[in-house]
Structures are given as structure tokens and as C-alpha cells.
Structure 1
Amino acid sequence: MTSAENKGISVAIDQNAFLAEGVRTVDAIVTVEATGDLVVSVAPPPRVEILIIDTSGSMGAADKFAGARRATLAALDVMPDGTRFAIVEGTDKAQVVFPHRGSSAVASPQERANARRALDKLVPHGGTAIGTWLGLSRLIAQQHPGAMVHAILLTDGKNEHEAPERLAEEIRQSIGVFTCDCRGVGVDWEPNEVRPIASALHGTIDTVATADLLAQDFAATMESSMEKAIPDLTMRVWTPVGAKIVFLKQVAPFIEDLTARRSEVGPQVGEYPLGSWGAEDRDYHIQLELEPAAPDREKLAARVSVLAEGDVLGQGLVKAAWTTDTDKSAVISRRVAHYTGQAELAQTVQEGLTARKQGDFATATAKLQRAYHLASESGNENTAKLLLSVVDVVDERTGTIRLRNKIDPADEMALDVRSTKTARVRKEP
């Protein structure tokens, strides 16, 4: 492993640089770590928090609206005084229900009390048009140029009152304007409608089975937002002439494909947005294709830099050296192998659940059995536990499983939504 640190950002490269003669593919795990020293040294910009609450008619069932109200107040309670905030009511329309004037309020004991009274007046009604919620939130964000704007979006149902194209366009226009963590309560919402929001807006997605758990989740999500002091980091990748980036994926703490988010900034140079950061580390898998060199020759396959506002904070090098020594070229980086397996695990879970919903139980069984093997072998205990809520292990020795006849929809939803969370593997010394 090679690493470099500069100005509070470390970039470490984990790979086997030795390739067999004629091989064109290079894989590496890039670990980016923002240190506490960097976070402390950064003067964070003004913050704005937007709480987007589904108040459609379906929220009146199962105490969901009361839970959403408690969750909103819990998020406000952990928000530091001085933070600007707004509450958006989402139905088939969207409106700011607090503050009553202006685009945002400043958190204080008095304003929290005022927000509580505004929430008391709301009643569930109407339908669901999530794109309009994003559009209004974007307008709020644009009233605070230079601010770090974050939203929490809660829904309980399907996006039934607008065309999918409208939602997709609102997501597109919101990229880079604000970040958004998404939560679904109950089992009637559609992860495939909400997942693109969290993905494009650098947020998380999760399911909350019952309304009584919302307050704890919202408070934790708000606290996590408050820990983000760096508005945006960017990964810049230079490759030599003739080289091609096959993909660039975040692989920990969860899987997110960044390949299509590349913007060209110069000859053989592209940049990928990494979102806002606190004191944390994330792992990325980069795969490249390049022209092979002669044996015993080494090439620089990529230069990976991490930037903030155009300033390079850290850098790492991906190398390739061709050899006729099979003992060297046969070694597979433990971390590359691990995260390749984690990506397969996430994809296999999704394929298995899709097959089950389509009534193809043979494919579903095969896929989820493969997923159980991958989860067990890689130490992903969380996904293995989630899988055991939808399958039974028939033979522990062989790992043979069968689908359960009756599956709690909440368990299936949790497996669907959380399948992209990965088990970390420690860096090589």
C-alpha cells in the first residue's frame, strides 16, 4: 500500500501493481481520509437544514404523522442554536409551513416553540409528488448562496401524483444545490423512486419500520449532518494517453457508482464529486485499462488527487508493472477482492428480490443463496442477518437455503434498502 498526506487529507492506494505479461486491467482501492485536524481547521460556511415531511393522506394511518411530527421536533432539538432551518410540507404540492415569512428561521428556543405550534396545525391530506418537494427545497437553498444546505426527506408512499420524468428532472436540477438524506416509513413507499434522490444528492437512504422509531432516526441523521464541516470534496483522476477508466465506485461505507458523474477538466483529466465530509474515511474502487508495457517495465496508471475549492489536499498514485514472474502477478490485493465481493453481494441481493417479486422463485432462491454465501464469507454480518429474515438455512454446512413462505414486508424492505452497505476491511499495514 502507498499513501500520501497533505493538509489533513490522506490518500492511500492498495493494489497489486504486478501484472502478467499482456494484461490490460488494473484494479486499486483508494482510501481517502479527512482527519480531525482538517475538520477543526476549516471554517464551515453558514448551514441551512430543510425538513421535508410527507403530510399526504396516507400519513394519517398507523400513527405515522404523529411520528413524523415528533421526529421533526427531535431533529430541531439537536440542531445547534444559530442554524438556519425550514420545514416543508409535502403532498401533491409543496409549501413552507415554517417559518411563515422568509425562506428560513434561525434556530433558538423561541423559534423551536414556534415551529412546534406550526406543526400542530398540520393534518394529513392530499397526494404525493416528491419532485415538487425537491423543487421548493431547491428554491429555499438558492436563497442562501454560499451556505451548506442539507435536507431530510420523509415519505410513506409512492410518487403517484407526478410523472417519473418530472421527478427525474427535479433531481437533476438539485444536484450540487443541496444534499439530501431520504427516509421511508412503513412498507408502502418505493425505494427505487427514492434511491435516485439520495444517490444524486450525496445522501443516505434507509427504511424506518414503524413511526415510533422516526424520532431517534431523525435526531441521529441531524447529528451526522452537523458533523460535516467540509462542504464538498472532489476526486481528480489523471490517466496517461491510451488509458481508460472502466469504473470508479465508492465501496465503503456503502456502494455508489460515480463513473457517470465524471466531468472533463482537461486532457486525460476528469473530476468526480465526493459530497460533504466530516472527520471520516471512505474507500473507492478504481478499475483502469491501459496499454501493456514490456516485462520489467513500470507505468503510472493514474494519479488520484483530492481537492477542495480547487486546492489539492492529498494525492496517491496507481502503478502498473508487468512481469513474467507468476508468483508476483498471481497475488490479488485482499482489499480489492473484498470490495469486488461486496459489490457482487449488493447486486445479487437486488436481483434475488426482483426475481421473487416477479414470481421467479427458482432464480430468487439461487441469487439469495449466493448472496448468503458472499455475506458470510466476507464478514458482512448485517446483510447476512437481513437475509435470514427472508430465507431459511436448510444446511449450514453447504449453505443451502430456501425462501420463506411468509416474509414480513418490513424485513424485505430493510434488505432491499440496506443491501448496499458494506463491511469494511482494514488497510494493509
Structure 2
Amino acid sequence: MTDFQLEVFQNEYLPEGAREVNAIVTVTASGGGDRVPGGGGAVALGESAAEVIIVDCSGSMHVPPTKLRAAKDATIAAIETLRDGVAFAVVSGTDTARLIYPHNGLVAANHETRAEAKLAVSTLRANGGTAIGQWLQLADRLFSGHPAAMRHAILLTDGQNMHETPRQLTRTLKAVTGHFVCDCRGVGTDWQVNELREIANTLLGTVDIVAEPSGLEADFRAMATAAMGKSVGDVSLRLWTPQGATVKFVKQVEPTLADLTGRRVESAPRSGDYPTGSWGDESRDYHVCIEVNPAGVGDKMLAGRVSMVVPGSNEVLGKGQIIALWTDDTALSTKINPAVAHYTGQAELAEAIQEGLEARKAGDVGRATARLGRAVALATQTGHEDTAKLLAKVVDIEDPVAGTVRLKRSVDTVDEMTLDTRSTRTKRVGKTSSES
């Protein structure tokens, strides 16, 4: 059984009259082993997992021909990575969605079914348009017909969702939210980062760019391997707050940024659950911000109680406390916890990058320079070397500490999209826990 440990990092001391309490909650899962919790008790991992691989087969995947060929090789690599017993299917996505293997529902992975699936993948042809919502709907129907606790999809596209309206895609995402996790990949540079980011964020997955088709195989294999490493299928972060308190936000801040605030589901009086998806042996950080009614100097309050739970069963997998203590000692109350400061800066960094790139596209040189300059300064301050290198491909950096930059006259589209796509990746920081 997977064990969850929660650690809370914060400065619990607040100045007189202060209301806002901030904390970083580190959740560490370990000991997943070969069994997972489920509605009817523990079940074997192979029987509890399901995988759907969605391959864009629109006409543009044939330009150049190596793109579809690489997508086929990548899909085959993912199929080979599946453990025996894992239920799986392969979907061809165009302006419709078509199940290419098996002929109906999902099938358990074994030597025979893997061979049949690889043969089916080899017959894929590029023709038609792009309607990603229909691809997701088919995946959802496949998952709904199987009792798997862990449901994961890989979605590959090389273009924009041209054969659906944004409203149709949004409606589909709303309908399938919480049903499965979806990792999204865009190959080449003709797809939209915001579009895939919305899908990945909504379905608690990842998004990334694969600039060259040759990189698809390793990426698909890595995604499938990560999915096979999950041991708990559906876990929520539950937050209880006292009477009169307001939850300002709950955000995942490591390994990637994801705002979970709007995903809250009321679970009990003054308690709400925030979905976190499936877990393996791993650690993630969450930033919780609560506004409470201020108490008097010297008073101590339980500002929040956080736990990890299996929805429906109310099984508590780990818990921690968020404290507020009012003081008139400014040396205590003005000290910002390093973890809170770090992740606040990481969120601002992602925002500055995305706003700067949008301004650049809109031709607003002044705002683009200011926001990307701020991003350079933040990346330097937080030691985010990978992001700093990506920024250097978009701007000429004169002073990294001050954030003094000049926009490059010519920027490769792939460099711009890579910076945008990876802006939400974060870098972990050493933390100092509270003394509560």
C-alpha cells in the first residue's frame, strides 16, 4: 500500500491584524509496491491500469513523411513498455476518432495483443483534419467501459484543432474531467501551446514540445514508463479551514505549475477536495493560501488541515497542519519562508514568460521587453538555469540580475514554443519547516 507523508513549510508568525496565511505542502508517496487501493480492496497493478494512445493521423502528419513514421515507431515503443495485464487501445485521430486496435473496447497487454497492436499501427495513414475533442471522447468511452483504477492517455498532435470550435473542445473537457489523466505532446511547430496546455492542465497531465519527429520514440517510451510506475489511481488533496476562513488558492507548484483552485469539490462542512491525479513513488509541492479572521497578539490558530484522500472512500492517506500565530515581534512576522518565496517567484516567472511572448506576437515591443526582462531576472534569482538558457534564445541579455534585455530580431519558432511550453516547469528548493 502506498504511504503518503505530508510536510508543511511556512512562517506561521503573522503581524497584528494580518489575515493571509501561506504554506508549501510537500506530499511524498512511497512504497507503492505491486498493489493499489480500489473500491473493492487492493488489486494487482496490471489489472488496475488502462492506457489509450491517441495518434494524430491528419493530413499534415504526412509532411514530411518521416513525421508519421516516427509517430508509428513511438506508438510501438509505448505498446512495448506496457506491463502484462494492462488494458490498452490505440486511437487514430483526424476530424473523427477511430479505434484501430482492438476492434472493440480495451484489451489486456500480452505477447499476442502487443504484436497485433503493432501490426495495426503499421497500417496508419495520414488523411483528414483535426478534432481533438472527438479523440478525447472516444478515449473516455473506452475507459468508462473498464474498471481500471489508473487511466492514462497519451495524445500526440502536429496541428491546431481546426475542425472543432473552442467551445466544443471546452465542453468535451468539462465532460471528461476527472475520468483519466492525459499527457499531451506537440510535434513540430504548427500546433498551439495554449490549446494543448489547456487539455493537459484540465486532465492533470503534462505538455511538451517534440521539435523533431526523431525525438518521439524516446518521449513516448518515457511517458508510458512513468504511467506504469503509478500505484494509486485517484487521490485528492483535502483542505479543511475554520469558520470564517476563505481559501484564496491551492496550486501545484512542483514539478509543474497547475492551479487547482477552481477544481474544488465540497466534501464536508468547511472541507474541499482538490484532484491530484495518479501517484507513483514521487514527491510534489502545493502552495496553499488561506485568508482567516485575525486574532489577538499571542493567539494561535489552526488555519488549515490538509490531507490526502481517496475520493469516495474517505480513506486518509496522510495529513498535516497549517498554523497561524499572531505576534508583535516584527523580526518574526516579516520573515518570509524560503519555500513560499521561491514558489511565488516561480509562478511569477511563468506568468512573465507567457505574457512577454504574447506581447511579442502582438508587436508590443515595450511590454514584451519588460516582461521577458523580468523573466530573465527571476530565472537568475531562482537558479532556473534551463529557463535562462531558453530565454537567451528569445532575447539578448545585457544584465541578467537586473533583467536588462533586448528582443532578438529573429527567433526560431521552435525556440519560442519551447520556452512557452516549458514555462510552467519548476525547480525544487530546499525548505525550512516551521517550528510548530
TM-score after normalising by structure 1? 0.95
Match of 2:274 in 1: 272
Q: Is the 8 A contact 2:150 2:234 kept in 1?
A: no
1:359 deviation in Å? 0.6
C-alpha change, 1:7 and 1:80, in structure 2 (3 Å) is: closer
After TM superposition, list the pairs within 5 Å mapping 1:72-151 onto structure 2: 72-99=75-102, 101-151=103-153
User: For residue 65 of structure 1, what is the aligned residue in structure 2?
Assistant: 68
Give structure 1 stretches of 5+ with no counterpart. 1-5
Matching residue of 2:39: none
Which piece of structure 1 moves more, 260-269 or 38-47?
38-47
Q: Is structure 2 residue 3 aligned with structure 1 residue 8?
A: yes
Aligned length: 422
Give matches, 1:100-249, under 5 Å.
Answer: 101-249=103-251
Map Cα deviations across residues 104-135 of structure 1 (whole Å, 9 max, x no partner).
Answer: 22222332222222122221000000000001
TM-score by length of 2: 0.94
Q: 1:9 to 1:396 in 2, by over 3 A?
A: closer
> SS at 1:23's partner residue?
coil
The amino acid across from 1:89 in the alignment is S
Q: Give the direction of change, closer, same or farther, for the CA distance of 1:123–1:395 in structure 2 (3 Å limit).
A: same
AA partner of residue 369 (structure 1): G
Equivalent position of 1:296 in the other structure: 298
Which residue number in structure 2 is paired with residue 335 of structure 1?
339
* SS at structure 2 position matched to 1:299: strand
CA RMSD of aligned residues (A): 1.5
Residue 30 of structure 2 corresponds to residue 27 of structure 1: no
Cα separation, partners in 2 of 1:13 and 1:39, compared to 1, 3 Å: farther
* Match status 1:420 vs 2:424: yes
Does the CA-based 8 Å contact 1:7-1:314 persist in structure 2?
no
Query: How far does residue 390 in structure 1 lie from its aligned partner after superposition?
Result: 0.8
Which residue type is aligned with residue 269 of structure 1? S
3-state SS, counterpart of residue 241 of structure 1 = coil
- Specify which of 311, 317, 320 is matched with residue 313 of structure 1: 317
Deviation at 1:361, TM superposition (A): 1.2
Query: 1:255 aligns to what?
Result: 257
Contact 2:51/2:89 (8 A) holds in 1: yes
Deviation of 1:70 after TM superposition, in Å, equals 0.7
Cα distance, 1:403 vs structure 2: 1.1
What does residue 389 of structure 1 align with? 393
Q: Bigger shift: 179-188 or 45-54?
A: 45-54
The alpha-carbon deviation at position 39 of structure 1 amounts to: 4.5
The aligned residue for residue 287 of structure 2 is: 285
Deviations 1:47-73 (A, max 9, x none): 111110000000001221111101001
Alpha-carbon contact 2:337-2:432 (below 8 Å) kept? no
Moved more, 365-374 or 193-202: 193-202
Give the secondary-structure state (helix, strand or coil) at the position aligned to 1:419. Answer: helix
Displacement of 1:397 after TM fit? Answer: 6.4
Instruction: Kindly state the Cα deviation for residue 150 of structure 1 after the two structures are TM-superposed.
Output: 0.8
State how far apart, in whole Å, the 2-side matches of 1:124 and 1:317 are.
54
- Supply the AA of the counterpart residue of 2:171: E
Q: Secondary structure at the match of 1:355?
A: helix
Aligned residues of 1:75 and 1:219 also touching (Cα < 8 A): yes
> 1:403 is matched with which residue: 400, 407, 426?
407
Letter in 2 for 1:95: R
Secondary structure of 1:407 counterpart = coil
For the structure 1 residues 375 and 282, does the alpha-carbon distance in structure 2 shift closer, same or farther, using more than 3 Å as the test? same
Paired AA for residue 141 in structure 1:
F
Whole-Å separation in 1 of the counterparts to 2:131 and 2:13? 53
**8 Å contact from structure 1 (residues 355, 364) kept in 2:** yes
Q: Secondary structure at the match of 2:88?
A: strand
Q: Distance in 1 between matches of 2:400 and 2:148?
A: 55
In 2, distance between residues paired with 1:142 and 1:293? 49
Give yes or no for contact 1:206–1:417 (8 Å, CA) kept in 2: yes
Write out the 4+ residue segments of structure 1 that deviate beyond 6 Å after TM superposition: none
Q: Does the 8 A contact of 1:352 with 1:367 survive in 2?
A: yes
- TM-fit CA distance, 1:81: 2.4
CA contact (8 A) 1:14 1:30 kept: yes
Query: Matched residues, percent identical?
Result: 48
Task: Please give the alpha-carbon distance, in whole angstroms, between the structure 1 residues aligned to 2:6 and 2:67.
Answer: 44
Amino acid at match of 1:30: V
User: What is the one-letter code of the residue matched to 1:274?
Assistant: T
Mean alpha-carbon deviation: is it higher for 37-46 or for 152-161? 37-46
- Aligned partners of 2:32, 2:401: CA distance in 1, in Å? 48
Alignment check: 8 A CA contact 1:9 1:38 kept: no
> Distance between the aligned counterparts of 2:68 and 2:131, measured in 1?
17
> In the TM superposition, what is the alpha-carbon distance from 1:38 to its structure 2 partner?
4.3
2:330 to 314, 326, 329: 326
Show the counterpart of 1:362.
Answer: 366
- In the alignment, which of 5, 12, 17 is matched to residue 17 of structure 1? 12
Shift of 1:369: 0.6
Query: Which segments of 5 or more consecutive residues in structure 2 lack a partner in the other structure?
Result: 37-42
